[in-house]
Amino acid sequence: MLFLRRIDSRLDLFLLESRNPTIENSNTSRSASTNLAPAENSPLLILSGIIIATLLGHALWLNNGAIHPTGILLVAISIAISSLAIICSTKASLHISSQAIQLTLWVALGSQFAVINLIPPGVYISASGPDWQIFSAVLAATTFVAGGIISNNRLINSLSFYISLAAFVFLALWVIRFSPSPKIDVFGFQVEAIRSLLGGSNPYEIRTPNIYGHTHFYGPGVVHDGVVQFGFPYFPLSLLAVIPGGLLGDLRFAQIFFIVATGILFTRLQPGSIGRGIALLYWFSPRTLFVIEQSWTEPLMLFLATLVALAAKTNPRIVAPAFGLLLSAKQTMFLMPFLFPLLNLGDFKGQIRALCISLGIAGLITLPFFLWNPLEFWRSVIDWQLIQPSRPDALSFSALSHSVTGTYFPVYLPFLGSAACVALAFWKSARSPAGWAISTTMVYLVFFAMNKQAFCNYYFMVIGFACLAAACASVPDSVNRSSAKNP
């Protein structure tokens, strides 16, 4: 116990020093304008991020991320909170106490553990009675242990965090063990693409069987004679990132790694009990285990976005490479370049230079696969997205409109909505990693909520962005002082 306490104390001290601008070395990539940017209201951003992540987690829990009246309401409330958080992100006059943040985090974690215990972690799990008992026992014990995460006693806080981390890894591996082949096309695409690439073939030329027995989920011409006529549907980094998991026996091992690593990076961004609580909020979001079961790729985007934020706060010179990886992860990242200036890395020329480097890195990763077979790459990555149909079961305002009026939103409306959000962010948001993260939360939340398809994986990414915003903002000093006084 003493050894664990010393390691934990030294790690927190190192992280606090690395965040202190009085002892950081000056960096030439930052201009004088950085210091003139309005200071962020950190407590407000922390509180907003926690609340948004919690509300969206419950929205996904209601119907596994499919349409639900209460889920739509929670999405709307989350949009309103993110907008207000951006508008007020530089208003220092809005005082929020550290006690309010700790209480909100405790309530948020309690509400999530309450609902996690009510439904199975996945939809394709085949386990015996004793196996289910083991899962339930570990989850119930974690529910009790996680309560210590907001304790001001350093030892209790540390033990709660590390035990909860070990429990999450066990539960995630349990899901993979008892749901080895989920009936979802994303899993099949990734398995076949890994096999194809390792065998020397182009993953964008693969053809996979239509596992659903119908074509409701696909656009016209996608399926012919029971075979999906498109290859791997994402950017190549999404495939390259899960190959290590595939080599170990299940590509979802990589997804577990990304989720766990993202939570640990949250504690790097936000040392102390609040940062650890945010990590647990992300790990034990009501449908995190469901995301792992389904093998969705969004955990990679969250991991890379967190690397970008950490680099912006500790070593701005590596922001451009990290941002380039983020851009090359998936097509939905096309909105990210518009938000890049909010990281406030320097003057206008410096930001343009950094963004060009990021785009160049993304191009270097993607271009070889495009040149391998330009037509098949374009069909799989671009055409596939354009011809996908509007889904009546999506958790979106467009699907709600269809259920009420019989018509979906025009396809351009999500782009207009996200453009308006980008404008609001540039007008009102704090210029900081936390301001960037809360703006990203709002932009993608609006983009998905108005789109033709919006399901659990999309909103899980937004949950991660909200947690990232809370982790990036500086916690009130009183919280860390309180923890330090209670070894």
Which residues make beta-bridge pairs with 66?
394
Asked which of 8-12, 204-208, 328-332, 416-420 is least confident by mean pLDDT, the reply is 8-12
Interval 263-288: pLDDT, tens: 999 999 999 899 999 999 999 999 99
**Which residue did the predictor score with more confidence, 371 or 9?**
371
Question: DSSP string covering 299-340, please?
Answer: HHHHHHHHHHHHHHHH-GGGHHHHHHHHHTT-GGGGGHHHHG
pLDDT score recorded for residue 39: 63
34 confidence band (pLDDT: 50, 70, 90) = very low
Using alpha carbons only, give the angle 334, 336, 337 rounded to the nearest 5 degrees.
Answer: 90
- As a whole number, mean pLDDT of residues 5-15 equals 44
Give residue 200's region: left, alpha or beta (phi > 0; psi -120 to 50). Answer: left
pLDDT score recorded for residue 151: 80
- As a whole number, mean pLDDT of residues 326-334 equals 96
Q: What is the pTM of this model?
A: 0.91
Of 374, 376, 369, nearest in space to 235 by CA: 369
pLDDT score recorded for residue 128: 87
pLDDT score recorded for residue 96: 80
pLDDT score recorded for residue 347: 87
- As a whole number, mean pLDDT of residues 429-453 equals 96
pLDDT score recorded for residue 98: 81
- As a whole number, mean pLDDT of residues 167-194 equals 97
99 confidence band (pLDDT: 50, 70, 90) = confident
- As a whole number, mean pLDDT of residues 215-230 equals 91
Tokens 């909505």, located at residue: 417
